[in-house]
Structure formats: structure tokens, C-alpha cells
Structure 1
Amino acid sequence: MAWSTRQLADLAGSTVKAIRHYHEIGLLDVPERAANGYKQYKVQHLIRLMQIKRLSDLGVPLSQVAAMGRADEEPDEAIRVLDAELEATVERINRVRAELAVILRHRAPMHVPPEFAPLSRKLSDTQQSLLMVYSTVFSEEGMEEFRQMIAARDDTDDEFDALPPEADDAAVDRLAERMLPVVRRLREKHPWAKDPAADSPRGAELAENTMAHAVAEFYNPAQLRVLQRLNILLEQTADTNDDTLRHGAACDSRADVDEQ
């Protein structure tokens, strides 16, 4: 009894293309050919094809199927490795599903970190963009500190967001003076804000440069002048750190925006 490639594929629930591929990568032995040149598959080919298909269905990459052995072997270690990989995959899927549930519950953009989903609808597009940049350099602890800070919005946040690029010096000075006590209170409550780049897993220098460039790119000239003026006021009130981490959902690490 012998089968053609098509018949073997039908018996195993596979395809002719898959069988040919298994031949090419050495997983399935090439059978003898009949006088007419057609391959003649036998029972051992069917058994091996079913083994390959079963392992593939279990999630074993074809590159590892050979290591799993034949039917008369017991590839315990390979099975344990596969099980561990599948466990990690299940954990990742469960985490993603949990994050999607949070996103759906708060109708948040998918690109926003899940812990910020409850706040996302209050954030402008600019603020969301800045948040994404900061998430690349903040530590996990820093992200939590930042989340707590932006959760407590102040009227000055809205004023800062709405400040037009052509705002005059008087308007800039007034807003900076109104923001000063807000920033000082937040820095007292969240000491991390005095140097948010210090614990960055990317390194303080890279974090500071990344944050400063983001602020310079996304804020308009009047908003940058507010931050510059606010830094001066902080220095004048004996706050020697020159970062300003609080204005809507954005921060300026060491606010060197006057040099941008």
C-alpha cells in the first residue's frame, strides 16, 4: 500500500505544500518513487507526518520539532521548555487582556500606558504625546509619582494649555506667578519631582535631554517662556533645583527650555 503526496496530505489533514516543506527542511524522509516518477508514501511516512502536525499544533516551532524526537523517544526536557514558553505566552495574553479591559472601561487611547487610562480623557493630544516620551525614560516608581501628580489638576493647568503663542510678557509673568505655589506644593508632596531623571533606567543625562527636547518641540513659545520665568521664581524662593515637573500632563526636567 502506498499513497501519493496528495493522498498523504488528505489523510493527515495537511497540505501538499507543507509536506514538500517538511522534505526540504529534513523533517520528513523523501519516499521512493514508482516507475512513473511519483512518490510512494508508506505507513511510516504517515506516522511521521502526524507527529510533525501534532507537535506543530502544540506550538512547537518547526525548527525544534527534530529535537523533540520520534515516537519511540521521550523528549522530557524539550516538553518542559515548551510548557514554560506556553506559560509565558498565557501570562502575556492575560496581561494584555487586562490592559485592554482597562482601556475599554475608560475609553482611553490604546497607546496610553494602562495606569494612565483613567486620566487620558482629560489630557490633550500634546499631553498624551509628552506622556509617551516620558514613559521611555521614567522609572516605574517615577511613572507612578507622575501619575499621582497629574491626577490633581489645577486651574493653572488649563490656563497653561490654552496660552496662545503670541501671549505678551505680562500674561506670561502672571501665569508663572500663579503656577509657582502649585509647583512648590507638588514638589513638597513629591520630592521625586525635584529631579525626575535621577532614577531613570536610561541614565540621567539621556533622560534630561529627551524630556527637554520633547518640551521644546511640543510647547509653544509663550508656554516655554512661562517655564523659564517659573524657574527663575523657584530659584528666587530658594528652590535651587531648576526642573519644573508640572503643567498639565507634562514635565520639564531641569527645564533647560531656554536653551532649546
Structure 2
Amino acid sequence: MRSNEVAKLAGVTVRALRHYHQLGLLPEPPRQTNGYRDYSPADVARVLRIKRLAALGFPLSRIGTVLEEMDTPKSRTTAGNDARDAGKNESNTGNAAADAAPSPHDALEELDRELALEIERLQEQRRTIAELRAEHLDPDLPVRFARTLRMLAGADVLANASAADRTALIVAGHLYDDEELDELERVVERISSENLVESMRELDDRLATLAPDAPESQRAALAEDSLEVLAPIIACFDAANWLRPQTDGERLLDEITFGSYNEAQQDVCDRIERNIVAFLATSPSQATPQPLDPDVTS
């Protein structure tokens, strides 16, 4: 039989046959004098077996091994075998080895476990998709992170963000662990309860328009005003997250967030961060930070 005939009979494509040849699943039959390959009935049966195992869920990379196990003769003894009952170890060694060898049923059991895990994973994916659809959350973000941002900014957080902010939010959403998400939720709840959104936007606008050569007085004033607005939020910070060395993810987020800032903008941000760290290091349990320390802000 020619390849197109085999493919039609088995319900596969000629390209699939070629792929089976490449993987070593199907021996390549000899060519006839006319140049066409001549497939035997055994080849057709082999193709059907490959197709069947693939339909059960076996990946092609494992089917060759499974077929070998199915085709390997195994000597098995019966429960009433006198030799086994008599404990003739030497004669039973080969039988025990044969019985211990992998079998098609072992492969089926392993596949069944893998499929059960895959079903569980797919069910979890469906639950996540259902939450994203029901709450109209951005699929780029993990559900909990997206819900937290919505508390602060409303719908379409990423759609309304700048390119840099969008990048930072996506990276943060996928890098934050549970403790960092706990802190983020506390911060967002405090921003909402204290009605700080507008004040923070004004500070962002002031920072965005800060000239690279802004004088010291302007920088110090912006840093001081920022810490005053941020005071209720700082009380929500987890000191452990701020006082430990930066992680690679945090360094990446800093690069995304501050990479385009000019010298004056970076200076103001550094002053704010130094004061927050200094406050958390000395008074981690206080509800509000102390006034700005001139030695820290300069």
C-alpha cells in the first residue's frame, strides 16, 4: 500500500506518517522500483496503534516505549505454580524480573495520574477565567492583584496606564508573593479610606514636571510634601519588606519605574525612600512617621 492509501485508511495525514518515521515510531518500508514505498498490513496496524495511544493521551515521545512494552513477551506464573510455592529461587528469578518489568498497564496507570493532574489544572484555569470574565478583570494580571488595583483605580487599570506603568504593573503582578500582596492590599485600602488618590496624583504631576536642574528648595519641598501625604500609607508597610536586601524582581521594578527619571526626580524619590526606611528601622510599630530628618532628606 502507498502512503496516501495508508493515511486514508488509518485516518491520519501523509505528513503524520512522515513524522512517525522521523520519530522512529514507524519503520520506513522499502521503496518499489517505481519509487513508492510499499506499506505492509503490519505497518497499517502499527499506524493504528500509534493513533490509538495518542488518542488515549500518550505523547508521541512516549508511544515508542509503550509499544515496546506491549510487544515484549513476559513469562508469568500462576498462583498455583508449584515451583513458586516451593520457593525455588533460582528458577523464579527470571519470572520475578519479568513480572517486575514495565507493562502497558503500568503505563496506563501513569498516564491516568498525569491526566488527573491535567484535568485539575484545566479546572483551575477555568475557575480563573470565570473570575476574570465575571469581574471584567484584565487577563494580563493575576486575579488577586487585579482586584486590589481595582479598589484604587476602578476598571481598565492597564488600559489607562502609560506604557511604563503598564509594564511595571504586569511585572509586579506576577512577581509579588503573598506577603507583598498583603501589604499592597493594606496600602490600597488605606489610600481609599483616607481619600488620598487626588493628593497622590498631584504629587505625581509635580514630580513629572520637575526639571533636571530643580533647586534644592524645590526638591526638599516635594520630598517633604510627599512624605506628609504618604504618612498614613507608611503605617501599612511591612518593615521586613523594606529593611531586607532588594530582590532581583524589586531591582527590575525600580529600573522600570525610575529608569526614565531625570536627576532631580531620582533625587526626590531617593530622599522619600531613605526617610521611609529610616522611619521603619527606628519605629516599625508607630502609626505615623516622624517629621523629615534634614540629614536624611538632603
TM-score, length basis structure 2? 0.61
Over the matched positions of the two proteins, sequence identity in percent amounts to 28
Taking a change above 3 Å as real, the CA distance of residues 240 and 140 of structure 1, as seen in their structure-2 partners, is closer
CA shift for structure 1 position 231: 4.6
Larger Rg: 2
Taking a change above 3 Å as real, the CA distance of residues 129 and 239 of structure 1, as seen in their structure-2 partners, is same
Q: Once superposed, which parts of structure 1, at least 4 consecutive aligned residues long, lie more than 6 Å away?
A: 167-171
Q: Distance in 2 between matches of 1:186 and 1:17?
A: 62
Q: Distance in 2 between matches of 1:231 and 1:16?
A: 65
Which residue of 113, 121, 126 corresponds with 1:84? Answer: 113
State the match for 2:232 in structure 1: 185
Structure 2, gaps ≥5 residues long: 73-102, 283-296
- Paired residues in the alignment total 234
CA RMSD of aligned residues (A): 3.7
Conserved? CA contact 1:27–1:66, under 8 Å:
yes
CA shift for structure 1 position 13: 0.3
Question: Is 1:165 paired with 2:165?
Answer: no
Conserved? CA contact 1:99–1:114, under 8 Å:
yes
Which residue of 27, 30, 44 corresponds with 1:46? Answer: 44
Shifted more, 125-134 versus 30-39: the winner is 30-39
Taking a change above 3 Å as real, the CA distance of residues 211 and 36 of structure 1, as seen in their structure-2 partners, is closer
Structure 1 residues 1-260: aligned runs within 5 Å: 3-31=1-29, 36=34, 38-69=36-67, 72=71, 74-118=103-147, 119-120=149-150, 122=154, 123=157, 124-125=161-162, 126-135=164-173, 138-153=176-191, 154=196, 155-163=198-206, 164-166=208-210, 176-192=223-239, 195-196=241-242, 198=244, 204=246, 206-207=248-249, 209-217=251-259, 224-231=266-273, 239=279, 241=281
Taking a change above 3 Å as real, the CA distance of residues 156 and 219 of structure 1, as seen in their structure-2 partners, is farther
Alpha-carbon deviations, 1:201-221, whole Å to 9, x = none? xx7353553343333225566
Conserved? CA contact 1:197–1:207, under 8 Å:
no
**SS of alignment partner, residue 69 of structure 1:** helix
TM-score, length basis structure 1? 0.68
CA shift for structure 1 position 95: 3.2
Conserved? CA contact 1:4–1:39, under 8 Å:
yes
